[in-house]
Amino acid sequence: MQNTRKFYIDGEWVEPIGTDTLDVVNPATEMAIATIALGDEKDVDRAVTAARTAFDSYAATTRADRIELLSRVIEVYGRRMNDLATTITQEMGAPAGLAATAQAPCGMAHLAAALDALRRFEFEEKIGTTTVVHEPVGVCAFITPWNWPVNQIAAKVAPALAAGCTMVLKPSEIAPLNAIIFAEILHEAGVPAGVFNLVHGDGPTVGAALSTHPDVDMVSFTGSTRAGVEVARNAAPTVKRVAQELGGKSANIVLVDADFDEVITRDVTGVVVNAGQSCNAGSRILVPSDRMDEACAIAKAAAETIVVGPPDADGTTVGPLVSQAQFDKVQRLIQTGINEGGTLVAGGVGRPPGLSAGYFVRPTVFANVTNDMTIAREEIFGPVMMLIGYEDEADAIRIANDTTYGLSGMVSSSDTQRARNVARKMRTGMVHVNGAPLAFDAPFGGYKQSGNGREFGRFGLAEYLEAKAIFGDNEN
């Protein structure tokens, strides 16, 4: 791959000012596959200056101009979809099938949702004698994670382009190569120079420089709650807008009248998608206490069908975790679950049999977990789930809401209306009823320490707009 040691600034691939580099490691082999440059404050300043210079002209483009631009981006993205999928498999370990059918296509889905929102959005509205105009917020800094990398890049870049903003992206330094392809896509599609800029780097250097930069009007961050707090703290002195999509510890309520075989099997295999490295994974599975043994047997059987292996191998359903640090964290938390008295139903510490290298983790199920245990409180970000008993529906809702997080949730019942009623009592930004999938035109985001703001579709577009009231503009 070309351009791994360069940054995309002001419409060109340029040499970095900083001299630091970092190897990109394939988590399945633990071998380096590329080397990227790491930026510093001067690189960030150069990129922000390019975005600031380009803002006035790009903000003045018409809806039709931006519709045409996004349409071209979608066309080019479609041609590079296979490149993105292959790269994501290599750099963060997503199984090839998942990368081709979900990871890479998610980026396309966000581009399409932003284009649809742009076509429909009312940028001006009349309120009495006042005209309210929705204008682009300005220069945006995007700090994105490694777990669904191009999905989270596109979820920010697409609506920002639609809104008329300019931007600087800092992708995760752990899985940065897909961002290079994304920059190449935007360049080929004709995104004007300076509108989109890419600088690689770590959070404490490039992330902090973007968050504190006085010419950045907005920071949109996706990642851990701990890092999100730092971003907000760094952004506070300049009073810039901060949008955050942070951690989660989502509850999955299996109501007593649900089909346990169907629901628990579906949801155990669902948690381990992407090796459990999803902020909205329903890892706390709540079941009636008097049916815990039944739920254990179903969960154990489901876990034993999961195939962990090299992400490019046929039949693999779960690949490795992304890094040694992530592997070590998950191993520590599995051991903590054992130490605190959780009943180990499946999996456990160590790699799966036959895998001596790579950051592979055994799909792990704990039963008889109480909601005060560490594994029920902390976001594990691995293929680990826990069965927690409840006494009645009200107790299930109480346990579900007893968390500092509030990103997602699930509820299943043979009575759909009953499930809907429970969903409305869950203090979380999203709830999946009876296994309903995520929708790219609906808001994505959380309550409490899962963040603020919303992404996807028109809700994402609105995040990148300021509302200006022009009083008397609508007088006769």
Active site residues: 245, 279
Query: 166: part of which helix (H) or strand (E)?
Result: strand 166-170
Name the amino acid, one letter, at 104. A
* Cα 453 to Cα 244: distance, rounded to the nearest angstrom: 6
What are the DSSP calls for 332-396, one per residue? Answer: HHHHHHHHTT-EEEE--SSPPTT--SSS----EEEEEE-TTSHHHHS---SSEEEEEEESSHHHH
DSSP state of 64: H
Comparing CA positions, the residue from 38, 43, 40, 322 lying closest to residue 174 is 322
* Cα 29 to Cα 450: distance, rounded to the nearest angstrom: 33
- Residues whose CB is less than 8 angstroms from the CB of residue 436 and which lie 6 or more positions away in sequence, other chains included: none
* Cα 429 to Cα 280: distance, rounded to the nearest angstrom: 10
Contact 79, 45 (CB under 8 A): no
| Tokens of residue 384, six digits | 């680990």
Comparing CA positions, the residue from 372, 379, 376 lying closest to residue 285 is 376
* Cα 72 to Cα 233: distance, rounded to the nearest angstrom: 37
Please list, residue by residue across 385-411, b when 16 or more beta carbons sit within 10 angstroms of its beta carbon and e when fewer do: bbbbbbeebeebbebbbebebbbbbbb
Helix axes 104-120, 63-79, angle to 10 degrees: 160
Query: Among all chains, which residue has been given the structure tokens 């479609």?
Result: 78
> How would you classify the pairing of strands 251-254 and 284-288?
parallel
Tell me the three state secondary structure of residue 172: coil
Angle formed at CA 454 by CA 453 and CA 459, multiple of 5 degrees: 125
* Cα 134 to Cα 76: distance, rounded to the nearest angstrom: 29
- Residues whose CB is less than 8 angstroms from the CB of residue 424 and which lie 6 or more positions away in sequence, other chains included: none
* Cα 421 to Cα 37: distance, rounded to the nearest angstrom: 51
* Cα 55 to Cα 53: distance, rounded to the nearest angstrom: 6
| Tokens of residue 251, six digits | 């509850």
Q: How far is CA 474 from CA 136, 187, 467, in A?
A: 22, 41, 16
